[in-house]
Amino acid sequence: MASRRDLYQSYQSSVRRLVAGVVLREADPAQSPLRRMGGAVFGSVMVAVLSLAVAGLIGVLSPGGNTTWQDAGAVVVEEGTGARFAWLADEDGVYHLHPVTNLATAALLMGTTEIVEVSPESLAGAPRGVRLGIPGAPDSLPAPDRLLGAPWTLCSAAPLPGSGSLVPDTVLVVGRSADSGDPVGGEAAVLVRVVQDGSLHLVLGGRQYPVPQEDAVLEGLSLRGANEVQVGAAWLDALPQGRALVPEPAEGRGEPSAVLPETRVGEVRYVDGGAGRQWYQVTRTGIQEITPVQADLLLADPAVRDTAYAGREPEALALPAAVANSLERTVAPEPTPLDPPAQAPSAAEVAGPDSSVCASFDGDSGLPTVSVQAVVDEGDSVVDSGGTTADGTVLADRVVVQPGAGALVSARGADGAVDGTLYLVTDEGVRYLVPSPEVQAVLGYGEVQPVVLPSSLVARVLAGPALDQDDARLPAGRG
């Protein structure tokens, strides 16, 4: 009886004869029909191995030599060192590899922020040019999707413990609002006093109004007992400014009126009618319309008391409508956004002079939302700035931008018009002028819509050099 081994060998023999018969048309050939195929595969593998070995040997003995980077039209970055270069042609069309001071310069020279990494060996034979660039330009550019929008929040708070400073700290946080605080809304106002010069200002509806005649304002608007908040000049100067809140007496104050008997120029009168109470100030030839706030200020002004009221306690007297209609009347001019309030505001609740106060700018109206007792988390990415520029602009003491982020901001003037001035703000807390849409596109921000903010706020950020393509072509240090 046949064993299993005998049966297996018999099966293999039958398969070989069947394959040989199909491939060679001979059941018992002199050699296996698959032997040639195996030899061909083995030979091909050995040729490939030898080719790779030869290529590797050439690379070891003669490294570098790659010049494809010269046609890339991108910023050249040396592998291992991170050194940046620009491959540029001179006036004669001869190309040189120019070292550059920073990434922004390289992008301005090459017209793109794209980079190509090249080995030192491949750069070794390239002819060198002089170092080019804008000293102080950023060496890192935020990606377009890392640009922050509104709000920007500017806060003034008591100086940090141990700082030795008596001036409140001003902190600008880019892209975030205050984490807490009590919003000051409606007709509420905050009295703030600038520590540097002692001036008093009334903040109402996101706008600040200087108060040069404190007694008349505090008494007239019943704000004498209201708590003031001490702030730094950088905080106040960032707020849009309105006209000064002062009494505006008529010309000839204290002179006898030519149209009303026993009346002096500068006295306050009112007429009650169906539309409410209308306030007037007596002039030389008639009466002049004034706001309720202006009436309060005139009645509280010591100079008006001493002249128009001849030392008597000022008092507003009623004027019959028929008499008022018979007099020459000066109509109040159309109100403007810069005018002081027409109605007396109430005082916001403020804990004390060391309370923090924040103004959050949303980029829409230009007027910030003000909150007191506010707190902002500065995080770990805080850049100390501070100081005063050559033109007298007081900078924020600290600027907070998320690491790796930035902002593209367009400045709005005091009249509300966007003047087209564009800045790039980096996480180093510095702003750089972007002089044209072309440069905006070169930096990779051509499709980015800038956030629009008041120029008075943007000015709190330290200014760096302009990102100008002509300046980038200058030898470094000759800007």
Residues 196-223: tens digit of each pLDDT: 999 999 999 999 999 999 999 999 999 9
d(CA 218, CA 181): 26
pLDDT value of residue 382: 65
Query: Global pTM?
Result: 0.80
Token pair of 142 as six digits: 């935020």
d(CA 23, CA 25): 6
Q: Which residues contact residue 135 at a Cβ distance below 8 angstroms, ignoring those fewer than 6 apart?
A: 101, 465, 476, 477, 479
Neighbours of 397 (CB within 10 A): 26
Q: Which of 226, 254, 231 is nearest to 347 (CA)?
A: 226
Q: Which of 147, 156, 98, 152 is nearest to 123 (CA)?
A: 98
What does the domain layout of the chain look like in residue ranges? Answer: 4-61, 68-123, 152-241+347-466, 255-330
pLDDT value of residue 381: 59
pLDDT value of residue 58: 41
Q: Which residues contact residue 81 at a Cβ distance below 8 angstroms, ignoring those fewer than 6 apart?
A: 120
Neighbours of 363 (CB within 10 A): 17
Q: Which of 135, 157, 137 is nearest to 398 (CA)?
A: 157
pLDDT digits (tens, 9 = 90+) for 312-325: 999 999 999 999 99
Write out the H or E segment, with its range, that includes residue 374. Answer: strand 369-375
Sole residue written with tokens 């984490």: 179
Is residue 151 reached through a cis peptide bond, with omega within 30 degrees of 0 on the bond before it? Answer: yes
Q: What is the 3-state secondary structure (H, E, C) of 151-198?
A: CEEEEEECCCCCCCCCCCEEEEEECCCCCEEEECCCCEEEEEEECCCC
DSSP state of 250: P
Q: Which of 276, 217, 274, 287 is nearest to 245 (CA)?
A: 217
pLDDT value of residue 59: 45
Q: What is the 3-state secondary structure (H, E, C) of 277-307?
A: EEEEEECCCEEEEECHHHHHHHHHCHHHHHH
d(CA 159, CA 237): 18
pLDDT value of residue 54: 46
Stated length of the chain: 479
Q: Is 80 left (phi over 0), alpha (psi -120 to 50) or beta?
A: left
Distances, alpha carbon 332 to alpha carbons 77, 279, 323, in Å = 67, 10, 19
d(CA 358, CA 315): 39
pLDDT value of residue 20: 55
Token pair of 199 as six digits: 């001036």
DSSP structure string for 35-60: HHHHHHHHHHHHHHHHHHHHHHHHHH
Token pair of 272 as six digits: 């009650």
Q: Which of 88, 112, 108 is nearest to 472 (CA)?
A: 108
First to last CA, the chain: 104
Compute the C-alpha angle 417/171/236, nearest 5°: 50
Name the CATH topology of 255-330. Answer: OB fold (Dihydrolipoamide Acetyltransferase, E2P) (2.40.50)
Q: Is 162 left (phi over 0), alpha (psi -120 to 50) or beta?
A: left
Percent of the chain that is helix, strand, coil (3-state, to 5): 25, 30, 50
pLDDT value of residue 95: 95
pLDDT average per 10 residues of sequence, the chain (479 residues): 62 60 56 52 54 47 67 93 94 94 96 95 93 95 96 88 74 89 90 96 97 97 94 96 96 93 95 92 96 98 95 94 94 93 95 91 86 79 78 93 96 74 96 97 96 94 96 82
d(CA 291, CA 247): 11
pLDDT value of residue 354: 87
At residue 433, the 3 state secondary structure works out as strand
pLDDT value of residue 185: 83
Sole residue written with tokens 């100079």: 303
